[in-house]
Amino acid sequence: MRVDVHTHFYPSEYLKAIEKKSNHAEVVHDDSGQLLVKYAGDYNVVADAHRFVETRLRDMDTYKIDMSVMSLTTPGVHVEEPEYGIELARIANDEYADLVKQYPDRFQFFATLPMQAPEAAAKELQRAVRDLGLVGGMIFSNINGDTLDDPKFDPVWEAAADLGVPIVVHPTGPSYSAAINDHRLVALLGFAYDTTAAAARMVLSGVLDRYPDLTLIQTHLGGVLPMMAERIERGYNIYPEIAGRLQRSPMEYFREMYYDTVLFDPGVTMMVLKFCGEDRMMLGSDHPHQVGDLRKCSIIIDQLPVEQEVKNKIFARNAKSLLGLNVGK
């Protein structure tokens, strides 16, 4: 069994909507006819597997992926005006729910949330989980420059904790992205920083103390969090501005988060496995983005110097347990 928890799909009606109207994104064709979604600091090449079910299923079968737990990707809906963002989230989640009904053994989704309107985002998460049968929510590492520890986002954390579903924290361009707009550094480095900063803020600000039942999934092996966690912990113990604020040490919170495997280096993957433990790592491909790799994501796990039981947890068992997936044995 293999369950891919980090993979993306653009709903057709979402693409039509933002092509017609968007305050932030632009849907265009390049000189070769390739469809692109462009936005500040970055762009996405829209592959066939981003939007065509037949291509998605063929890719999954080719690389022996039993189920894809998909989500929207950048630029998301939070970049739009609140009312339009709420509308786009409903459009996306309704289409996701239809796909789950059509392919219950192959597809699941994390709900798209209009985080620029936190109360509405909480209600949309409740609708998506209770009424549509989706398995959690996906948000971005900052919301139009606002950090996730801002108390205005508390309704979303409360809703997720009450529902017992995880929140995926997906990177987006950091607020200083103007300084790294060239060489694709926003995607290559900026995303990793913003992922790490978001996780650190959620811990150090006390969000996870206020909502102890909130489960977070960190993408791309947590950015550079596993390498920096010890420094954060050391700073927490010595800096009076933050020392003693939390109910537990920062490291305990970091190790309770889940981490997907979207960074295809066996040495780094093994390091993060030792950091978070065999019950907190899940397979991810970032398919079908250019920087993703549906083939290599499984190869890397197969190469890890660990028991097959550990590999089985990473491949599917952890995801099935966390998300309540009814797939396979």
User: Is 278 inside a domain boundary?
Assistant: yes
Write phi, then psi, for 147 (nearest 5 degrees).
-80, 155
Q: For 305-329, how does the pLDDT look when each residue is reduced to its tens digit (9 = 90+)?
A: 999 999 999 999 999 999 999 877 5
Portion of the chain with pLDDT greater than 90, in percent: 88
Q: How confident is the model at residue 24 (pLDDT cuts 50, 70, 90)?
A: confident
Q: For 106-153, how does the pLDDT look when each residue is reduced to its tens digit (9 = 90+)?
A: 999 999 999 999 999 999 999 999 999 999 999 999 999 999 999 999
* Amino acid code (one letter) for 200: A
What separation in angstroms does the CA of 79 have from each of 24, 40, 82, 99? 6, 10, 9, 25
Contact 283, 315 (CB under 8 A): yes
Q: What is the pLDDT averaged over residues 241-261?
A: 97
User: Is 275 inside a domain boundary?
Assistant: yes
pLDDT at 289 over 90: yes
Q: Decide: helix, strand or coil at residue 218.
A: strand
pLDDT at site 329: 57
User: Is 162 inside a domain boundary?
Assistant: yes
Q: pTM score > 0.75 for this model?
A: yes
Contact 287, 59 (CB under 8 A): yes
User: Is 329 inside a domain boundary?
Assistant: no
The CATH number assigned to the domain holding 233 equals 3.20.20.140
* Amino acid code (one letter) for 147: T
Q: How confident is the model at residue 165 (pLDDT cuts 50, 70, 90)?
A: very high
Residues present in the chain in total:
329
User: Is 246 inside a domain boundary?
Assistant: yes
User: Is 117 inside a domain boundary?
Assistant: yes
* Between 187 and 283, the higher pLDDT residue: 283
Q: What is the pLDDT averaged over residues 29-54?
A: 88
Return the bridge partners of 287, or none.
Answer: 7
pLDDT at site 25: 85
Least confident of 16-20, 49-53, 140-144: 16-20
Q: For 216-230, how does the pLDDT look when each residue is reduced to its tens digit (9 = 90+)?
A: 999 999 999 999 999
Q: What is the pLDDT averaged over residues 79-107?
A: 97
Q: Decide: helix, strand or coil at residue 278.
A: coil
Helix 82-102 with 118-126: angle, nearest 10 deg: 10
What b/e string do you get for 116-150 counting C-beta neighbours within 10 Å, with b at 16 or more?
bbbebbbbbbbbbbeebebbbbbbbbbbeeebbbe
Domains in the chain: how many in total? 1
User: Is 328 inside a domain boundary?
Assistant: no
* Between 67 and 35, the higher pLDDT residue: 67
Closest to 139 measured CA to CA, from 95, 187, 74: 74
Structure tokens at 252: 């305990």
CA gyration radius for the chain? 19
pLDDT at 49 over 80: yes
Average pLDDT, the chain: 95
Residue 190 gets the label, from left (phi > 0), alpha (psi -120 to 50) or beta, of alpha
Q: How far apart are CA 202 and CA 166, in angstroms?
A: 14
Q: Which domain holds residue 283?
A: 3-323
pLDDT at site 181: 85
Q: How far apart are the first and last CA of the chain?
A: 8
User: Is 160 inside a domain boundary?
Assistant: yes
